[in-house]
Amino acid sequence: MAKHKVHTNSMMALYQHDLASQDADREPMTTTPTNSVNRRAFIAAGAVAIPSAALARTTSFASVSSTADMDFEDLMKAAGNNLKPMRDLMRLLDNPVMRQEIAYLANQVTINLAQAVDVADQAPIPERSKAKYADDKETFTKDLRIKLLEAVSASTALARQAWLGNEEEIRSLYNSIRTIRKDGHDEFEEEH
């Protein structure tokens, strides 16, 4: 019993410290900390605030990106590899194991495309959209991100519906992703 209590207390202390650090990550403190936990959090806040300010792309609120050195084309290929097996799985929706497989694959597609959003500035303006954007790369990249996020929303919803086991929604969201991909490629991808 005593042992359990010690364990619980130390876990609580760790938990509280963790919470203080999380707060520090979110909102650097501006007032002088009053106790040792807050002091540690204050030091941590200083440590994260400097590099994140230096690396932020558009605002000083962005955290350090783990996607910064990824390749847009590779992420698209990965999304393609994760979407492909779903085609056959759509015929097996009454099987819960297959639905689980779809949920995992859809989640991977979400991750791949969300990372692609981060590095969307790598994609060049394709010939066929040159007239629309002229040389306005900033607007092109913004529109690309907006369209990519449509696909992210659909694949997130697909994963959720797969876990919920709603066959009709699964089929419909899978078709939506394919349509969004086609429209997205028609406008944003270079014809090869």
Q: What is the binding site for ligand HEM (CB under 6 A)? A: 72-73, 76-77, 79-80, 83, 109, 123, 144, 147-148, 151, 177, 180-181, 184-185, 188-190
- The tokens of 162 are what? 């797969």
Asked if 121 contacts 143 with a C-beta cutoff of 8 angstroms, the reply is no
Report, in Å, the least distance between residue 186 CB and ligand HEM. 9
Q: Identify which of residues 79 and 159 has a Cβ nearer to ligand HEM in the complex.
A: 79
Closest CA to 109 of 79, 139, 87: 79
Question: Between 24 and 82, whose beta carbon lies closer to ligand HEM?
Answer: 82
CB of 98 to ligand HEM, least distance (A): 19
| Nearest CB to ligand HEM, comparing residues 7 and 84 | 84
CA 155 – CA 103 distance, rounded (Å): 9
70, 24, 30, 65: which is closest to 47 by C-alpha?
Answer: 24
Residue with smaller CB distance to ligand HEM, 40 or 160: 160
Q: Which residue has the tokens 């203080």?
A: 20
Residue 57 CB, shortest distance to ligand HEM, in Å, is 19
C-beta of 81: minimal distance to ligand HEM in Å?
8
Q: Give the amino acid at 44.
A: A
94: CB partners within 8 A, 6+ apart: 167
Residue nearest ligand HEM by beta-carbon distance: 184
Nearest approach in angstroms of CB 79 to ligand HEM is: 4
| Angstrom distance (rounded) from CA 91 to CA 111 | 24
